[in-house]
Amino acid sequence: MEIENVLFAFGLTLFAGLSTGIGSALAFFTKRTNTRFLAFSLGLSAGVMIYVSMVEIFFKAQEALQADLGERMGAWVTVVSFFLGILGVMLIDKFVPSHENPHEMHRIEEIRGRAGELGQEHSLMRMGILTALAIAIHNFPEGIATFMAAVQDPRLGVPIAVAIAIHNIPEGIAVSVPIYYATGSRRKAFNYSFLSGVSEPIGALLAWLVLAPFLSGALFGVIFASVAGIMVFISVDQLLPAARKYGEHHVSIYGLVIGMMIMAVSLLLFI
């Protein structure tokens, strides 16, 4: 790994993870959710992640594995690694209680309404902290995925980091609003929201410290195929359902198609 690529990948992962702070700021200064914009943005993120995973990352992983393991075995290991990536994220979702799952998206005004109904500082604080913890757990594999993609190919890293960042903005809202209503402190709410994204660069750091020393063609292929699986699952399980939850189904699909087009053109420009 070239040190310039490593630093660049860390920077992208840091940007993607700490974008939860953007969601926190929006929650304080926006009275209502712009559902059309958010649905479009989430669809765009899903389009970028699905296209780059299935068209670029998956086949790069397959090439690396076939070079090391042979054509047939390499193809099988690629497929198995892809689904193991999906399985890993599914297990994380399974062990995070559904009522605290940060990927159940809500409007800003809806979260504020729930906060007003609860009216108990302890309950609100617990809601915010558990949501922050859940987001941190979910962001960990996303950090590994963003870092590994960016360090291998910086041209893939930028759109993936932006897609993850957009995905993290509603999560920042879900953390900051209940904590703000519990404490009355915007600083505390922002800090918790901001810190919930730190697990993403921590995932990147772990990938570099643990995986990088042993990185070979075969290991790279396994990791890259798993990254593709992680991003496809995030897209179909979290981003697209979240976009539809805002009641803008067609807008989210337009975003999905445009995200794919943007990713396709950017890949062609850098061939």
Q: What one-character-per-residue DSSP string does 11-73 give?
A: HHHHHHHTTHHHHHHHHHH-SS--HHHHHHHHHHHHHHHHHIIIIIIHHHHHHHHHHHH-HHH
Q: What is the pLDDT of residue 107?
A: 52
> Minimal CA–CA distance to 82: which of 66, 108, 59, 101?
59
Q: For 95-125, write each residue's pLDDT tens digit.
A: 765 444 545 555 545 555 555 554 555 666 7
Region 148-152 average pLDDT: 82
Give residue-wise pLDDT tens across range 26-84. 766 655 556 677 778 788 888 988 998 899 889 989 998 999 999 999 999 999 999 99
Give the CA distances from residue 254 to residues 43, 51, 249, 251, in Å, rounded to whole numbers and listed in that order.
7, 14, 9, 5
Q: What are phi and psi of 28, to 5 degrees?
A: -80, -30
| pLDDT, tens only, 132-143 | 777 788 788 888
Q: Which residue has the higher pLDDT, 243 or 210?
A: 210
Q: Can you give the pTM of this predicted structure?
A: 0.72
Residue 218 exposed, middle or buried by CB count within 10 Å (0-12, 13-18, 19+):
middle
Percent of the chain with pLDDT over 90: 17
* CA distance linking residue 123 with residue 115, whole number of Å: 9
pLDDT higher than 60, residue 129: yes
**Which residue shows structure tokens 């992680």?**
230
Q: Which of 52, 73, 74 is nearest to 62 (CA)?
A: 74
pLDDT value at residue 18: 85
